[in-house]
């Protein structure tokens, strides 16, 4: 049985973890909160590195926490960015998310409550994702 997604709680958790982001270069703090079918929530924030290519996005950070905890069935994610434009997951994050749940709903929001959150889905953001089936 899949737990219903509490979007407000996920949003609160994403805002909370966003405060712990390590973004001394871009100053673009991102927080993500991911819910799995069991109801557990995993959070992640971006962690930048002086060697830029080694930086880790919030969405992948949350996925790594999920996998490390033995879960593999995400059902929804909230991503919070600075704004004023609502940010979307980067291409690498979209591909990593697609490894686990291509049709997952995604709520995108910014720190300014006057800017409305936006709902989308991973399949809308990454049509024709590269999937394991292609490796057979």
Domain count within the chain: 1
pLDDT score recorded for residue 3: 81
- Domain residues for 92? 7-135
Residue 13 lies in a domain: yes
pLDDT score recorded for residue 31: 98
Helices 58-68 and 91-98 pack at an angle, to 10 degrees, of 20
- Catalytic site positions: 59
Residue 128 lies in a domain: yes
What CATH number is associated with residue 49? 3.40.140.10
Residue 2 lies in a domain: no
pLDDT tens sequence across 32-45? 999 999 999 999 99
Weakly modelled stretches of the chain, pLDDT under 50? none
Residue 1 lies in a domain: no
Coil, strand or helix at 45: strand
Alpha-carbon distances, residue 36 vs 77, 90, 135 (angstroms): 9, 21, 26
């Amino acid at each position: 049985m899949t737990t219903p997604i509490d979007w407000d709680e996920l949003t609160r958790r994403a805002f909370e973890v966003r405060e712990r982001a390590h973004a001394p270069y871009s100053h673009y703090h991102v927080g993500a909160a991911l819910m799995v079918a069991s109801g557990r929530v995993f959070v992640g924030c971006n962690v930048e590195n002086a060697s830029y290519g080694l930086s880790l996005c919030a969405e992948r950070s949350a996925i790594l926490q999920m996998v490390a905890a033995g879960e593999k069935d995400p059902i929804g994610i909230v991503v919070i960015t600075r704004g004023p434009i609502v940010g979307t997951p980067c291409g690498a994050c979209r591909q990593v998310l697609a490894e686990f749940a291509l049709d997952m709903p995604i709520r995108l929001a910014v720190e300014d409550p006057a800017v409305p959150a936006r709902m989308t889905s991973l399949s809308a953001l990454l049509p024709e994702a590269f999937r394991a089936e292609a490796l057979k």
